[in-house]
Chain A
Amino acid sequence: MPRSRLVFWLFFAPVLLWLLLLIVLPHLDLLTMSFRGENDYGEMGWTLQNYRNFFTEPVYWLTFVRTALYALITTFITFLLAMPVAFYISKLARSRVRGALMILLLLPFWVSELVRVYGWMILLRESGVLNFVMLKLGLIDKPVEMLYNDAAMIMGLVYTSMLFMIVPLVSVMESLDDSLIEAAHDLGAGKIAIWRTIILPHCKPGITSGAIVVFMLALGNYLTPNLMGGKNSLWFTEQIYNQFIASFNWNQGSAFGFLLLALSSLIIWAGLKLTGQRLGEVAS
Chain B
Amino acid sequence: MTNDLSVRNVVKRFADFTAVNDVSFDVPSGSFFSILGPSGCGKTTLLRMIAGFDSPTSGDIDIRGASVIGVPPNRRPVNLVFQHLALFPMMNVAENVAFGLRRRGASGNEISRKTAAILDRVGLPGYGRKRIDQLSGGQKQRVAIARCLVLDPSVLLLDEPLGALDLKLREQMKLELKKLQAKIGTTFIYITHDQSEALVMSDRVAVMHDGRFEQVGAPQELYGRPATPFVARFVGDNNKWRGRITQRVGDDVLVATDEGFSFRARAQGCCGDGSVVDLFLRPEAMRIEPRETDGLNLFDVTVKSILFDGANSRLLTVTREDHELLVTLPQNRRFDHIEPGNDIRVGWHPESGICFEAES
- Which residues, 51 to 85 on B, are CB-close (under 8 Å) to A? 51-53, 72-75, 79-80, 82-84
| B103 beta carbon closer than 8 Å to chain A | yes
Q: How far is the CA of A188 from the CA of B147 in the complex (A)?
A: 12
Any chain A CB within 8 A of the CB of B223? no
A179-B82, A183-B82 known; A190+B74 contact, CB < 8 A: yes
B100 & A177 in contact (Cβ 8 Å cutoff): no
CB distance B103 to A187 under 8 Å? Answer: yes
B88 near A179 with CB under 8 A, answer no
Is A47 in contact with chain B by the CB < 8 A criterion? no
- Interface size of B by CB at 8 A reads 23
Chain A residues contacting B74 (CB-CB under 8 Å) are 185-190
- Given known contacts A188-B104, A193-B103, A197-B99, A179 and B72 CB-to-CB distance under 8 angstroms: no
Q: Which B residues are CB-close (under 8 A) to A182?
A: 53, 73, 80, 82, 86
Encode contact with B along A45-79: 1 for CB under 8 Å, 0 otherwise.
00000000000000000000000000000000000
In the complex with contacts A187-B147, A187-B148, A188-B103, A177-B90 CB distance below 8 A = no
Give the A-B pair count, Cβ closer than 8 A.
57
Instruction: Please tell me if A184 contacts chain B, counting CB pairs below 8 Å.
Output: yes
Which residue of chain A has its CB nearest to the CB of B75?
A188
A186 CA to B90 CA, complexed, in Å: 18
Instruction: Decide if B151 is an interface residue (CB 8 Å cutoff).
Output: yes
A184-B104 CB under 8 A given contacts A179-B82, A189-B74, A190-B74: no
Q: How far is the CB of A172 from chain B (nearest CB, A)?
A: 12
Verify if A98 is at the interface (C-beta below 8 Å from B): no
Task: Give the distance to chain A from B106, nearest Cβ to Cβ, in Å.
Answer: 11
Q: Which residues of B contact A180 (CB under 8 A)?
A: 86, 88
Contact with A along B22-57 (1 / 0, CB 8 A): 000000000000000000000000000001110000
> Could you give 29 example pairs across A and B, Cβ below 8 Å?
A177-B84, A177-B86, A179-B82, A182-B80, A183-B80, A183-B87, A183-B88, A184-B88, A184-B99, A185-B53, A185-B72, A185-B74, A186-B51, A186-B52, A186-B73, A186-B74, A186-B79, A187-B99, A187-B103, A187-B147, A187-B148, A187-B151, A188-B75, A188-B103, A188-B104, A193-B103, A197-B88, A197-B99, A198-B88
Q: Which residues of B contact A (CB under 8 A)?
A: 51-53, 72-75, 79-80, 82-84, 86-88, 90, 99-100, 103-104, 147-148, 151
| Beyond known contacts A187-B147, A188-B75: 15 more, CB 8 A cutoff | A179-B82, A179-B83, A180-B86, A180-B88, A182-B82, A183-B86, A185-B53, A186-B52, A187-B79, A187-B148, A188-B74, A189-B99, A189-B103, A197-B88, A198-B90
Return the 8 tightest CB-CB contacts between A and B, nearest first: A183-B86, A188-B103, A187-B100, A179-B86, A201-B90, A188-B74, A186-B73, A185-B73
Binding site for B on A (CB under 8 A): 177, 179-180, 182-190, 193, 197-198, 201-202
